[in-house]
Amino acid sequence: MGAFFYGVSLQWKLDIRSKTLLITCYLVPLLFFAIMGGIFTSVMPETRDTLISSMTVFGVTMGALIGLPPSLVEIYGGDMKKIYQANGVPLSLGLVLANLSAYLHLFLMSIILSVAAPLVFHAEMPENMGMYFISLGIFIAVSLSVASVIGLAVKDQAKTAMFSILIFLPSVLLSGIMFPMELLPKAFEAAGKIFPASWGYRMMTEQVFLLESFLPLLLMFVLAVVICRILLRRMDP
Amino acid sequence: MSDAIKISNLKKSYGTHLVLDGLNFCVRQGEIFALLGVNGAGKTTTLECIEGLRTYDDGNIAVYGKMGIQLQSSSLPERIKPLEAVKLFAKWNGTSPDKVMLSNLGIYEIANKQYRQLSTGQKRRLHLALALTRNPDILFLDEPTAGLDVEGRLFLHEQIRRLKAIGKTIVLASHDMAEVEDLCDRIAIISDGRIAFAGTVKQLGQTIGERCTITIQTEHGMETYESENIGESLLPLLLQYKQNGEVILDIQTDRGSLEQRFLKIAKGE
């Protein structure tokens, strides 16, 4: 267990040294929050009720889908995985450590948003804070699992960026955080439901636990974990 | 001396390309053994099959001892520091980093640098340190000095000798005959997926035999002769020049180097 916890703390340190992670997990989401929070609350004052959830969904989706895959490609797309295998370290360790560290960073970023939004934009705090953070925890895990599939399946950094954007853009645009999903054409509304962002946003704004919002996220998570296992097994001789 | 590694009839193909066609050899405990071959001969494939990093199609591999592996090309996270990497791998293998070994490899001198800031030589030293964190009985070094300057090569050679002195078995892949001649107890040359030669460097030298070339330069130009026995051929040749009244400016004899012999065997000539 000591080795595992040392690995987690080391990964945390490495992520802090990496400017990419700071940009995708903190700088861009917080900048987006500063600009869009100002616009949303000025144009549509009622968005104050959901500002924390919407900005968090954007930040988590971005941090997970854009931030995590390049780290995984660095490990699994090149020679780094061989050094794990050669030195008796399980191949899955890189994936687990990168996910845990990203999870902590995204949760921290979400807490910063939750604290800053009421102070800066007089955003409403979620009524049921416990439920909100449980939903947030689930949403981060599912987003990271989807990001892991991209990071393991695509072996090239340029292609990874392309795939990440291909999933990130519809996730954010069709999730309901920019405009209500009911206003979207039916096809887009349906398409939005295949991404975790729409279900995560729904769960975080519902304030109560609804199985119908949780089950799609659980299904996505299980599917992503199974795919990750298959991809890792393929790499192991 | 007992075997550290025994390979029997090892076969490996990539698609339709047969890389290893029934390889047989053994490595003895405590020796430095080199696998030689031209680029693409299958040295790395052989090592990776032994190391368990690659599957093979047929044959048997028996390894008697714990392995430490330095790969030909390997990488670490760009921002990791050398001691952090050593500590991670040591913890994972349930060992403690050997401070003397780390000091010998100069790891403390580069402790504050990130991996991306290390030179090729420093990276090689770090990867060797990582391979040693498991306290292996058998150490695999795949082209350990490729891309290093003279100082870096000499440093690593010294470390390899030091490891042999403490009883490690060392298997290295190389295409550098000078390095192998300097370091190794025994060698095996891979050609066309098979072992074309196995033995000591001295034995390889003996295969060159007495055959040599004699080059004589006169005012009229240069003539080259091949001889099976230089002792018997040289004097009559010189007398012939004297009888013809030619003035000899220079004489050169060449028995052929180990490197030339290696290349002939490796290329199947």
> Which of A18-22, B3-7, B205-209 shows the lowest per-residue confidence on average (mean pLDDT)?
B205-209
**C-alpha gyration radius of chain A:** 18
With bands split at pLDDT 50, 70 and 90, how would you rate the model's confidence at A116?
very high
What percent of chain A is modeled with pLDDT above 90? Answer: 48
For residue A29, what is the enclosing H or E element?
helix A28-43
- CB-based contact (8 Å) between A87 and chain B? yes
pLDDT on residue B20: 92
pLDDT on residue B258: 67
Task: Domain count for chain A, please give it.
Answer: 1
**Rounded average pLDDT over B171-199:** 87
pLDDT on residue A61: 94
DSSP B117: G
Q: Of the spans A98-112, B135-149, B218-232, B248-262, which averages the highest pLDDT?
A: A98-112
- Token pair for A136: 């947030």
Task: Indicate if the pLDDT at residue B256 is higher than 80.
Answer: no
- CB-based contact (8 Å) between B79 and chain A? yes
Q: How many CB atoms lie within 10 A of CB B46?
A: 29
ipTM score assigned to the predicted complex = 0.79
Give yes or no for a contact between A199 and A57, defined as CB atoms under 8 angstroms apart: no
| Whole-number average pLDDT of chain B | 87
Q: Do B88 and A82 count as a contact with CB atoms less than 8 A apart?
A: no
> Which of A121-130, A185-194, B245-254 shows the lowest per-residue confidence on average (mean pLDDT)?
B245-254
- CB-based contact (8 Å) between B130 and chain A? yes
What percent of chain B is modeled with pLDDT above 70? Answer: 95
With bands split at pLDDT 50, 70 and 90, how would you rate the model's confidence at B80?
very high
Task: Indicate if the pLDDT at residue A152 is higher than 70.
Answer: yes
> For chain A, what percentages of helix, strand and coil (3-state, to nearest 5) are there?
85, 0, 15
Q: Which long-range contacts (CB under 8 A, 24 or more apart) does A29-33 make?
A: A29/A55, A29/A58, A29/A59, A29/A60, A29/A62, A29/A63, A29/A109, A29/A113, A30/A59, A30/A109, A30/A112, A30/A113, A30/A116, A32/A58, A32/A59, A32/A62, A33/A58, A33/A59, A33/A113, A33/A116, A33/A117
pLDDT on residue B257: 65
Nearest-Cα distance to chain A for B73, in Å, is 7
pLDDT on residue B209: 63
Q: Which residue of A has its CA nearest to B92?
A: A3
Q: Taking Cα atoms as reference points, which of B63, B87, B43, B25 lies closest to residue B139?
A: B63
- Distance CA(B42)–CA(B215), nearest Å, equals 37
> Which of A209-218, B113-122, B222-231 shows the lowest per-residue confidence on average (mean pLDDT)?
B222-231
**Which domain covers residue A83, as residue numbers?**
2-235
